[in-house]
A and B are shown apart, each in its own frame.
Chain A
Amino acid sequence: MSTAAASSRKRRRSAEQLAAQGRDISVSEFFAKNRHLLGFDNPRKALLTTVKEAVDNSLDACEEAGILPEIWVQIESLGGNRYRVSVQDNGPGILKKQIPLVFGKLLYGSKFHRLRMSRGQQGIGISAAGMYGMLTTGRPVKIISKTGPRRPAHYYEIQIDTRRNKPEILNGRGQGVDIPPGEKGRQYMEQHGIHWEDVPHGTRVTIELEARHQRGRGSVEEYLEQTAIANPHVTIHYTDPDGQQRTIPRSAEVLPPEPKEIKPHPYGVELGMLSTMLKQSREQTLSQFLTRSFSRVSQSVAKKICETAGLSTRARPGRIGRHEAERLYQAIQQTRIQAPATDCLAPIGEQLLLKGLHHVVPGQFYAAHTRPPAVYRGNPFQIEVALAYGGAAPTRKVSRELLEELLQESDARTLRQFLIHTFNGIGADGAERILKASGLGVRKVPAKLRKAEIDKLHQAMQHVNPDEGQTMTLIRYANRVPLQFQQAACAITQAVMNVNWRSYGLSHSRGSLPAGPVTVVVHVASVWVPFTSESKEAIAPYPEILRELRLALQAVGRKLGMYLRRRARVKQQEDRRNLFLRYLDEVATAVSILDNTDKDHLYQLLLEVAKRKTAEADMKLDRSGRLVGPEEELQDESVLIVEDRPELWITRSSNGQQAHGETSETED
């Protein structure tokens, strides 16, 4: 609306009237009205977000305390659309007086005011989840936390006062309850229906909420699986609403290195921020200000900056004017300053990424690449990429007998479910296609299939290639937390789509994800991840981040390209060998008919010539192509090439566990 139009209208309210209406908006109130910003847009997502906020906090707390995390996640269906989510960890626990604040006050957190890599950063997460639960069910958040084996467990039932952004404690006459350690406490818990996994210390939070449970994309199950990929040091126990239990054991026994807190790097500080820092500084000299407020600024670097800015090293920071501050800002940009310390970041590492990915995603080729740390706006960040390629779909390799057995064991309620949960990686889409090809109904009960129906299913499984028309599966992480939503809005997706995957042997049209049986895992680790919104679903496209993403993706892309070319070459050599061998027998037979030569003898002679000839031809290919010595290049630590063993990707429900790599119990 133009100002002219506005002023021409009759004033409705005076400035005074408006001022009288204005009042502080409670953050809690604001978010209650804008729940979508926090990831509570719909009941299904609300369930996931609740689990996620709690698990993220648990993992943060464990890692910070140096404890190998073990997490229990339980979702109970309370009938209708009500669910109860409980998440427990074996972390350090929370001090009594802090518990109400943590769970009952938005924007209370230990992570906001520091530059340190962690999953949570805003101090909103868990209290928002609790608030959502309260708003939809009226039930309070319940917390038990214990800081040591001989310490009491603090038990709280908390509500959040959305108007005042303050916790309200409901139990123990507003004081909470302390449950003593040992037998007495155990009895108390039993009496009051409080569940507690018996660990010496840890925290358990329980939230009741309106939600919907559905497997597949964006589900709790997906979140937990993806969490396992990026966090191989975590053990997760999961009980789903059907009461099914499943454990994903840790594959690494070491904690990631502890990320250190850092001071901001000078390159990342904006002019306004710099001015504020100068004003607030208590340092005596500009030189001291620079060396003590920033990382990587030594005396000599400070001197250089001051010189370039035309300022005295001994100037008082508080007295630096606007123009001088601007000169200082420019000078910082012009001075060469070492990149920020890397120990503030804890990348997963190429080895563990490979391990984690191989653990969960079927494939034949795995490559990982961790970029050196870089900086955007003074915040160190680091990009890691891992890629899994290929692997025949497990559905195509299953024998008729094994299929029958699997069907009998299965307690899945529908065939669709059976397929998705038994054969890892085929996805809902693949299951759909198999069922369509089989002509069997989606809702058939697996255990009750008749022989003829099993035959049909088996045939369909062999004929349908679930990989066909498949596009790349992209799994995104920020500080080891999977990002399951807003894929299209994310800088990671943007970077993946902008890489020319065709030059690495995948079919790919720009502006979309490449095609093929590929899974790409991208991890952005940073002391401050620039999310596009509070719901922490997509990463903002800072040019520095996009650049690092591109370089990392290209690094694994090149390795994939090498692998695929090598595979093509090996196939070509094999074809050649076969071609020659194929005809040798015919030739030897014909010659023996013609001149009575001993056929077998001639065959052997020809075979030797063939071997020599193939070797020569293979060599030629080496010299002519740009494939010189790809074997050596590919034999690096960041690459894993495995035999195609589709049977490893079959989950047997009898033991309730996923078949994992070499540790799996599968029958051939």
Chain B
Amino acid sequence: MAKRTSKKSNGTARLSKQDRHTLAQLTELAHSVVRAAERKRDPHLDIPARSLSNVRFNKSRRIIEMGRNTNRRHLFNLNQAKSYMQTLLVAAGCKQLIDQGKTTSIRGLYYMLKHTIKGTKEETFDDQSECDPVIEDLEVLVRCLREELHLYAQKKGDMVGPLVLVDNGDEIDCSRMGSGGYGIPSIVEPERIQFKKCTADFVLHVEKDTVWQRFNEDKFWKKHNCILTHGGGQPPRGVRRLLYRLHHELGLPIYCLLDNDPWGYYIYSVIKQGSINLAFESQRMAVPDARYLGLRSKDFRECELSDSVKIALTDTDRKRARQIAQYPWFAHKKKWQKEIQQLLENDFKLEVEALISKDISYVTEVYVPERIAAGDFLD
């Protein structure tokens, strides 16, 4: 232990304010174990519940906030002992990362912590799917983002547009990124990324890479002077945090172009109000003013699409749609209720690519410009 402390003193000098906060949170976790043990009590962790029932919609801030429900995890409970141990392992792992000023992917952390438990044939973690939820538990437990725990998820999401930024000291002109775009890192905190110059008028966020390619190829962002992003489906935190910063720091409106299905609605909901899973992050990620440009349930008729682009709703789709309609942040919005109602009546969903059936560049040259010009979006 003594050795480790001396080594660490080097690292401590480089600790950022955020790091020191995170460390304090992690250490407190350890203190609670020691305190319980000294009083001969069964140590436990109170982990905020990550479920819809434990989130609250803050009407004035228009974001999801986490409620007070917690799940207690005991060390001396047959069903919880292992996950209790795993939680502390993850905490210790993160602390070591912070001490060393290193970051790793969540997969890296899994490998860092995976080993055979002494005197047994049992592994600390059987596979990564066992480790990932524990990381989320720790995030809500110590109220630190995974990035603050020096962890990042697999990078997905790209950006192009008239924006110059500095990433880790390197200046990057996002208008000169060729066909690939600037890969949005998972940590986009101001310490790491600073905006240098931006002339864009708005941000167009599309659901996935394929659609983003279409827009980039058609130089949509040049013609319409905007920043073009995608998040590879459900946008990772890096992308969400970047959208948040573009909106709040640069005052850019955010338009979302997503599939016309419950999944698209949900992506929009996460960008706009925050995720249910990590509700405590909402205040740093949610963009309540984000706008839903499309696709809309009415588009099949309005754009005169052919029957062949319809995809039938499944039972899960219908269930999800009804669930989303019940979300407090959609419940009182007539337009949204109509939108979802219409989807259910249509009984089919549409992908953004469906518009290509009209014309390869219909979506970039007609659909989006018209909708933006007309201010025809959901809010």
A interface residues (Cβ-Cβ under 8 A, vs B)? 576, 579-580, 582-583, 585-587, 589-599, 602, 605-606, 608-610, 612-613
Contacts and interface: CB of A to CB of B under 8 A. Distances in A.
Contact of B76 (A589, A594, A597, A609): A609
Contacts of B38: 605
B179 to A, nearest CB: 46
A596 B33 contact: no
Contact of A595 (B31, B37, B82, B120): B31
Contact of A579 (B30, B81, B91, B92): B81
Contact of B5 (A585, A589, A596): A596
B75 A582 contact: no
B170 interface: no
B40 A608 contact: yes
A591 B76 contact: no
B91 A590 contact: yes
Contacts of A609: 36-37, 40-43, 76
A586 B42 contact: no
A583 B82 contact: yes
Contacts of B42: 609, 613
Contact of A580 (B26, B41, B76): B76
Given A587-B88, A590-B91, A612-B40, A582 B34 contact: no
A612 B36 CA distance: 14
A375 B84 CA distance: 65
B27 interface: yes
A184 to B, nearest CB: 78
Given A582-B120, A609-B41, 12 more contacts: A579-B81, A586-B124, A587-B43, A587-B84, A594-B26, A594-B30, A594-B88, A595-B27, A597-B30, A602-B34, A608-B40, A609-B37
A638 to B, nearest CB: 36
B27, B34, B82, B118 pick with most chain A CB within 10 angstroms: B34
A572 to B, nearest CB: 10
Interface string B205-243: 000000000000000000000000000000000000000
A628 B40 CA distance: 28
B75 A595 contact: no
B4, B43, B81 pick with most chain A CB within 10 angstroms: B81
A586 B117 contact: yes
Interface of B: 1, 4-5, 26-27, 29-31, 33-34, 36-38, 40-43, 75-76, 78, 81-82, 84-85, 88-89, 91-92, 95-96, 117-120, 122, 124
B34 A591 contact: yes
Contact of A583 (B34, B40, B41, B75): B75
Nearest to B1: A596
Contacts, number: 87
A593 B90 CA distance: 11
B206 to A, nearest CB: 42
Contacts of B85: 583, 586-587, 590
Nearest to B91: A594
B119 A582 contact: yes
Contact of B37 (A586, A589, A606): A606
B340 to A, nearest CB: 46
A311 B92 CA distance: 99
A401 B92 CA distance: 48
A533 B194 CA distance: 104
Contacts of A595: 27, 30-31, 34
B138 to A, nearest CB: 12
Contacts of B82: 583
A591 B78 contact: no
Nearest to B120: A582
A191 to B, nearest CB: 75
Contacts of B117: 582-583, 585-586
7 contacts: A590-B30, A591-B33, A594-B91, A595-B34, A605-B34, A606-B43, A609-B42
Nearest to A575: B78
A362 B78 CA distance: 36
B52 to A, nearest CB: 31
Contacts of A593: 4, 92, 95-96
Contact of B92 (A590, A605, A608, A613): A590
A590 B115 CA distance: 13
B37 A590 contact: no
Contacts of A585: 117-118
A590 B41 CA distance: 18
B78 A576 contact: yes
